A and B are shown apart, each in its own frame.
Chain A
């Protein structure tokens, strides 16, 4: 165990704990705030692996824009202060959801852990600085990148179109 391994472990624990709390809390705004904690953990883990551009963009986009948008939407609803019992899923549904979640985690772990070098793998810090990330995006991954931006553009225009549809007055 090196210091990097310990730091990575700490960041991962924060990310996983934040995620678990985000889905188990009964208070919907707390869920959004636990999501922030989880994202901070993920950003920390990515930072420890040496990709500071990815980590900081994750913070900027997800915490700075997506969570702010989620909170904005929640403020427009009747989300109560205190536990929200009206939307409690009940035991059978909670168990089923838990089983599905556990199955997905098992599947991902069985694929990803051998890929990362088994359980005993240590942190292999790559220097993925911004010029290298930029070069990769605009050479090897240029088609997926452009396709994604096209998809986002289409979604943007579609959102505009949906909000502009003239509805007949009731």
Chain B
């Protein structure tokens, strides 16, 4: 790989990392509004409020960056970066088109899993270092939730890696066949539910719970640092949607000519992101014990059953 190519890959991923979350955010504004019988943002930028998030960004940049007196300063300042950067690495592993992925390593699936699990540390650092009871409770709930939902994610991805016979996301997408929609369906559901929980999105937003914990770990954050946490959440939606599309929905496989493979990946990823947004509007927040029950009594056994089924399938040569 030559230097210009490396720079090109890095810049492309960075651009996608900064643009796609805004796109998902605007989609969420509009979709939620229409599902709730509202219009959503209509003024900023003129046409249907397309520039609302840009305006929000400018507002965040102008706000004062408040550092609480009781906070652990260095950890408090570092937390948004720890939450954000791993998703950049995770986004770089996503295969968009046959042979096109910013980081194309043999174990890119593991790289994706490791990166997203490091990202979880940011929330815990923020929760602990704020020196605030609400933040601490938020961090506590986040830690419990992340430990519980890490396991279903690993089980579901292990199943698909077993089916494809590879740990590379690109090879998994290449090996995908339409039968997998049925064969790997339980694993797909487990991953989707666990991914929403890992992102701490409604209905799994007990750690954030704005009505009882005033945003949990983010209570004390303002200005750009708060915006970085929001960006991390939406970048997480982008990453999880694209990886779901690449692994369970066949990524670039589609009826049109092969040169349009990237379009299929993006469209499928966008459809998954819409589902994640839809889930937020459709379900109320889960209680903490229900949340744990769902993970340990439903998702983990289902993931194990899927792994068993995949094992049978691989041996039988489906």
Point out residues on A near B: beta carbons under 8 Å: 27, 29-30, 33, 36, 52-53, 56-57, 59-60, 63-65, 67-69, 71-72, 74-76, 81-82, 129-130
Residues of A within 8 A of B118 (CB): 36, 59, 63-64
> Quick one: which of B75, B124, B125, B136 has the most chain A CB within 10 A?
B124
State whether B150 touches A33 (Cβ < 8 A): no
Point out residues on B near A: beta carbons under 8 Å: 70-72, 75, 105-107, 110-111, 113-114, 117-118, 120-121, 124-125, 127-129, 131, 136, 139-140, 143-144, 146-147, 150, 154, 167
**What's the minimum C-beta distance from B50 to chain A, rounded to whole angstroms?**
37
**What's the minimum C-beta distance from B156 to chain A, rounded to whole angstroms?**
14
State whether B106 touches A129 (Cβ < 8 A): yes
**What's the minimum C-beta distance from A127 to chain B, rounded to whole angstroms?**
10
State whether B70 touches A57 (Cβ < 8 A): no
**What's the minimum C-beta distance from B138 to chain A, rounded to whole angstroms?**
10
Residues of B within 8 A of A67 (CB): 121
Q: Quick one: closest B residue to A56, CB to CB?
A: B110
From DSSP, what is the main secondary structure of chain B's interface residues? helix
Q: Quick one: closest A residue to B78, CB to CB?
A: A33
State whether B105 touches A52 (Cβ < 8 A): yes
State whether A52 touches B120 (Cβ < 8 A): no
Complex: how many Å from CA A29 to CA B140? 14
The 10 lowest CB-CB distance pairs between A and B, nearest first, are: A64-B117, A72-B143, A56-B110, A59-B114, A60-B114, A71-B124, A81-B72, A56-B114, A75-B140, A52-B107
State whether B107 touches A53 (Cβ < 8 A): yes
State whether B111 touches A75 (Cβ < 8 A): no
**What's the minimum C-beta distance from B52 to chain A, rounded to whole angstroms?**
35
State whether A68 touches B146 (Cβ < 8 A): yes
Residues of B within 8 A of A64 (CB): 113-114, 117-118, 120, 150
Residues of B within 8 A of A74 (CB): 128
Residues of B within 8 A of A63 (CB): 114, 117-118, 121
